[in-house]
A and B are shown apart, each in its own frame.
Chain A
Amino acid sequence: MNFTTFLLALFDGVSYAALVFIVALGLTLIFGVMRILNVAHGSLYAIGAYATVSIVGWVLAMGAAPVLAFPLMLVSAVLVGVLIGGPIEYFLLRRIYDKSEVLQLLVTFAVFMILEDVQRLVWGTQPYFEAQALRALGNVSVFGVTYTVYQLILLPSVAIVLLLGLRFFLRRTVTGKLITATTEDREAAQSIGIDADRVFLLTFVLGAVLAGLGGALASPTTSILPGMGADMIVLSFAVVATAGLGQIEGAALTALMIGMGRSFAIYIWPEIAVLVPYLIMVLVLLVRPEGLFGSPAARKI
């Protein structure tokens, strides 16, 4: 492996890790607060990508400047989070918080199945491609290796801003502290007047927006096709479990490990690239059963 391929693998890894992190962040947030592993998260990611391609394609076809694609990505993500994520929490999840873990998982699995068909009905099965945003930012050259600004600078920056932003939000703002308090002890939080229902709704919508944003940001770099949601969800599950459940910093580190492992595998031994994330997960959990940043749970007798 010469220096140029090394750099290429490194850049691939960084941009991929940034995307995976953004999606896994939403999943981590939802799991951390609500203790629900949301299988439908992958569908929200896919629909975020589809919605972006449609909206951006539609607006740019009217002659708007390509730069407009960026605010439109955010708009699509918020639309997905509010219009799809909101109702999922309000009409479905709310009814099953006191039920067993398996049932909660299966509700989100049912939503996943429903959304897969909705997505097929709305967008069909043909692949979409819309790379205006990627081209709008141009390329950058690092040590003779040319790479897109979008993937090398924008994606990692967004990931870092979201990481720091979410940390700040949860630890420094009142709403964030209300969320953390509800996570720690729902009953105690309610007894001091926190509206837990609203906290859960807000958290879920926020997580869904992050899934949609992941899809929106992924859309210029890949062709959008059915099955992309299913692929992403198992990958972000791997990130969340390896990180230690609900650990934001852990998710960042794991996403980076998985992104790097995968992109180097593509250059060295392409057959095992798909396998790498799960190998990393198994190896990490073998050494640290609670995940990278997790702590052993207290046991009740």
Chain B
Amino acid sequence: MSEAPVLTEPGKAPPSRRRPRGKHGFRKFGAGRPLWSFMVFVAAAAVAAPVVAVAVDGLTGLTGADLPRGLGGMLLTTLGLMLGVGTGTLVVGGGLAWLVTAYRFPLRNVLVWLLVLPLAMPAYILGFIFLSVFDVAGPVQAVLRAVLGAEAGIAQVRSLPGAVFVMTLTLYPYVYLLARNALLEQAPGPYDAARTLGAGRARALWTVLLPLARPSLAAGLALVMMETLTDFATVQYFNVKTISVGVYLVWKGSFDFQLASQLSVLVLLFAVAVLAGERLMRGRARFHQRGGRGQGLETVRLKGWQGWAATGACLGVLGAGFLLPALQLLWWAVGELAAGPVPLRAEQFADYLANSVVLAVMVALACALVAVVIGHSLRLGGGALVRGAAQLTTFGYAVPGAVVGIGVLLAFTVLDDLLEAVGVAGGTGLLVTGSVLGILYSYTVHFLAPAYQAVDASFAKVPPSITRSALSLGAGPARVLARVHLPLVRPGVAVALVLVSIDAVKELPLVLLLRPFGFSTLSVWTYELARENFWEKAALPALVIVSLAVVPVFFLFRQVRLTENRRKEH
């Protein structure tokens, strides 16, 4: 993104044989691949439509007089939560990435990929398990009371710090993944150079590696922030009233959708702040790999207790974020299965499973495709407008799922009216809620951001000179995409597919709102049981969701292992 202007700088533009630029150029619209730029605009418009619909609905008739009491508190809580989870994921995710990349210690080769697993554990599921174990009525505090007397207990578990803890455990892999990619892909050369020039490890880390990893850390952090901002279920469990909870509270409490839209505009402002922060952190940083790969970071063997301490740190995070909660779910599920008939018939189960899987795969492919098209178009020379449009496509992620869903309904109502006005009988009818198209569309709107972040981070590492060379040697944009860009950004595409499919399996409000009759998914099933506190019954579908989300994580393992092997070959 930030390097895109290179192509539009006067005098540096690649000579184009087909379409000589006019005297005044096409600067605003980019150096000149109108078809590709147009595709970015289409994607942006499609993604922005529901968000805009909500914003317009919210801003019309905005008086400010009706804004709910306690709004200031909600804003502060939201800030506190984002700050806490941001710091937490940065420390845990970044720290672990550095640990497994720079050091060797017992079990490191397994832990390096196992540490991604908590990504498969939805925060709302971990949150409940955590509370059922550590809250006042749970076994831990019961034992404490039995041993130490009635007054013994842990400081309020259901609180902001509790929510920060649980969300950090489930969200740190975003930072871990992107930080590790950065450390593996671009850091080795400069790092080696710094070391050769006499910098100590610590100094090389602070002065070379961290600044180099900054764009990736920023991208990971932005994803974490947006997930935090739109979370609804987890914060509810922990009694943390964020602005997103406020949206639901107002909407459900007063049945005033417009007021809820107005609050959503506030959520949007937070999102804009997050995205702007990401840009700022990335700054004008432009890091490209020149020439071949470096030797890879030299890894230091941690000896004795240091090695085991490192293993312990990784196992601790992994155990708390995935292994123990998964065991607890398994325990509940087995108990439930042993107790009586399965709460769902086999064919229904197969049906829900298939729906969840097919949806996740389709959405992941759609998001990755759009993300690649956008990244590629920008690389061809976008200009400010195209870059702005590309930024627009990431907003959907920062809007709570149910609000996106409503936005899709609103947008299609407008489209329907328009079509009927121009004489199409019946308009679009029930295109949105009558088929899975509505769900697919809304998922794409909602999940394009992680795909785009991942692909964009990969594009950022491709030197513009490569694109320029390919273009100047006469390859058309499509050929450049297929032969040059795609192979180079493959790691980013893989990450995009994984992130989106995991998110899609876990997603709840959108499918609840937009699904057609007879269509249900595992997350809906879990939700309906969990809502009534049938947690033992909900354990089985929750376990299946977690297992499903583990599958794409395995693809990620392969990716990680490939880079590992490549590293060893050198």
**A, B bound:** no
By a beta-carbon cutoff of 8 Å, the part of chain B in contact with chain A is none
Chain A residues within 8 Å of B, Cβ to Cβ: none
